[in-house]
Homo-oligomer: A and B are copies of this chain.
């Protein structure tokens, strides 16, 4: 069988990590790379990935040019968090009969934010005989797919509570900046106001995916305002120092209300100096479930893994727009990737 042919749509921090991970796998090759960054266009992908060899693949900014020549099986799309911005890029990949796996957060469960675009993507994918999947560690796994998985051992569910607490000091500098670490509270609130801080994108998507898997008709989803986590003592990472009283990071949550009761709560905290990093799921029901992953799963590493591991599953899947809850039980690709194809 021929190797599985991949194009990277987006060679930023995440796309480059995914690309480097793919180069270590057997049975798969990266045959195209698309990015709008002037500093990367025209370079060999090996340079863009910052590895010490050339790959004989040029980074280009014209997706139609790349995709019409490269005969791509799967496009790995990692450029935008919001589907409205990502839509034309994903649509162009579909129009070239490529399956798409995207880290676009809203695409993980697009029926809330962009139902019309979700419908169009599904139709476009079916017409082109390809599968489109939004995934990642969060949204895509820790606060939705894994939670749904645990519900299968329950005969009754009263309330679901999911917490993700990250020590941002262990993450990339852009992530630390994105959560406001090192700002004063006033600066943080001003950046919130002008949407320079948007926080984690995907909590409402994760909550909706859980509710849909359970066929719960919600009264509403309450997205709580983003609030700063204030440093109680000085904390620092390799790149940012935070004085007492300054912002160490942020706190976000969503609550799903059903029949007047809070039935799903997703709580996300990312700040410098978190004493314990963990992912925890609590289900109050029959039976009760108390589960914890500690330390929490590193976002970048986990997203790279779940994207790469989804490649054979997306090729195997029927055409259309899928979400993680509709896919087979997820699993790792550690051998030649072609061994996982049906």
Q: A295: which B residues are within 8 A, CB to CB?
A: 290
In this complex, the interface size class of chain A, counting residues with CB under 8 Å from chain B, is 35 or more
Distance in angstroms from A132 CB to nearest chain B CB is: 17
Q: A155: which B residues are within 8 A, CB to CB?
A: 21, 24, 301, 304-305, 308-309, 332
A287→B327 CA distance, assembly (Å): 23
A21→B286 CA distance, assembly (Å): 11
Q: A145: which B residues are within 8 A, CB to CB?
A: 149, 329
Chain B, residue nearest A286 (CB): B301
A292→B157 CA distance, assembly (Å): 20
Q: Mark A274-304, 1 if CB is under 8 A from B, else 0.
A: 0000000000001101111111011001101
A152 touches B289 (CB 8 A): no
Which chain A residues in 297-323 approach chain B with CB under 8 Å?
297-298, 301-302, 304-306, 308-310
Q: A223: which B residues are within 8 A, CB to CB?
A: none
Q: A289: which B residues are within 8 A, CB to CB?
A: 293, 297
Q: A200: which B residues are within 8 A, CB to CB?
A: none
- A298 interface neighbour in B213, B287, B302, Cβ under 8 Å: B287
A332 touches B154 (CB 8 A): yes
A270→B223 CA distance, assembly (Å): 44
Say yes or no for A339: interface residue by CB 8 A criterion: yes
Chain B, residue nearest A281 (CB): B293
Highest count of chain B CB atoms <10 Å: which of A293, A294, A326: A293
Say yes or no for A214: interface residue by CB 8 A criterion: yes
Which chain A residues in 103-130 approach chain B with CB under 8 Å?
none
Q: A310: which B residues are within 8 A, CB to CB?
A: 152
Distance in angstroms from A235 CB to nearest chain B CB is: 23
Chain B, residue nearest A335 (CB): B215
A331→B290 CA distance, assembly (Å): 17
Q: A151: which B residues are within 8 A, CB to CB?
A: 309, 330-332
Q: A213: which B residues are within 8 A, CB to CB?
A: 329, 331
Say yes or no for A91: interface residue by CB 8 A criterion: no
Chain B, residue nearest A340 (CB): B215
Say yes or no for A153: interface residue by CB 8 A criterion: yes
Take A291-B291, A305-B154 as given contacts and tell me if A329 and B330 are in contact as well, using a CB distance cutoff of 8 Å.
Answer: yes
Query: Which A residues lie at the B interface, using CB under 8 A?
Result: 21, 24, 137, 141, 145-146, 148-149, 151-157, 213-216, 286-287, 289-295, 297-298, 301-302, 304-306, 308-310, 324-332, 334-335, 339-340
